[in-house]
Amino acid sequence: MVNPAGPQLTIGIETWPIAGQFTISRGAKTQARVVVAELSDGRFRGRGECVPYARYRESPETVAARLQELAGAVAAGLTRDALQQALPPGAARNALDCAFWDFEAKQSATPVHVLAGLPPPGPLTTAFTISLGTPQAMAEAARAASARPLLKVKLGAEGDPERIAAIRAAVPATELIVDANEGWTADNLAENLRACAAAGVTLVEQPLPADADEPLRNIARPVPVCADESAHDRASLPALIGKYDAVNIKLDKTGGLTEALAMSAEAHSLGLMTMAGCMVATSLSMAPAMLIAQDTRVADLDGPLLLARDRPDGLVYDGSIVHPAKPQLWG
């Protein structure tokens, strides 16, 4: 017999089509597959969404199975605090952690930001992603998005200096950040950073593979460099000092909002800038990340803008201005 101390946990895998194709240095995809965790006590419902990432040996099926294994513990009273030890950082814990936050907010009729001791979130500007392609194709895509004040440019292949130069020529007044997705090498690092500096790029994400990023410690960085794949949770922060200037906080890496909030505070205490990042996902993934993004140098929460459609009651995007979630969605 199930102990009624906790809510019932249900898990679902969903597929959301991408508008066109999303391409980075590791490949392209035309759909986003997400896992949704839902907690319910019959009166109140809390949801969280994650995007399993093959880069970290995750799949929707393995993440869903891992979460399903916890259904009994959740029903028996597993708490959000206990969850931090029950699962490691990653997509599975993110979905359930965010579902706990939403469930607690719905049960108590108290917004998540109040539960977390944060000020009310406000609208902010998100980056908009330009997928990796030829210099000409990327310049055209940037020009089509020239009304947006901040573009995130996917690089990480041969010919990146030409790509970033072509994009800058197409959008001379737009703020640019670059994500190389571990696609550069120690041999082309300096050249590519110089090209980004010449183009006035604000930030470069993860230029080198996470297991081969030591050259960053011994090279001039004319553009601030941000850790993405090299940064997961608080435990990963000390190793970044001296190699990186900033850290990209993604809830699918931290394992949820609980650790992301703690990681953000510690990163700032270590003198690291922060950015809030996302995977290609629905507004249910973006909603908790909006709380992290309130205190970052850059917000990159454009996942729903890359989809052919979003959830009902999704975040409101006014161009590149994204507004906080309504309670009907999350929090």
Write out the H or E segment, with its range, that includes residue 98. helix 91-108
The answer for residues whose C-beta is within 8 angstroms of residue 262's C-beta and 6 or more apart is 234
3-state secondary structure 226-290: EECCCCCCHHHCHHHECCECEEEECHHHHCCHHHHHHHHHHHHHCCCEEEECCCCCCHHHHHHHH
Distance CA 36, CA 67 (A): 10
Catalytic-residue membership of 154: yes
Q: Which of 106, 152, 243, 250 is catalytic?
A: 250
Q: How many residues does the chain have?
A: 331
First to last CA, the chain: 31
| Cβ–Cβ under 8 Å, residues 322 and 292 | no
Adjacency order of strands within the sheet including 45-50? 8-24, 27-40, 45-50
Burial class (CB in 10 A: 0-12, 13-18, 19+), 75: middle
Indicate the helix (H) or strand (E) that contains 10: strand 8-24
CB atoms within 10 A of CB 178: 31
The single residue of 106, 152, 154, 243 carrying the catalytic annotation is 154
Active site residue 250: yes
Residue type for 4, please? P
Angstrom distance (rounded) from CA 287 to CA 65 = 24
C-alpha 143/C-alpha 245 separation (Å) is: 29
Q: Provide the annotated active-site residues.
A: 154, 250
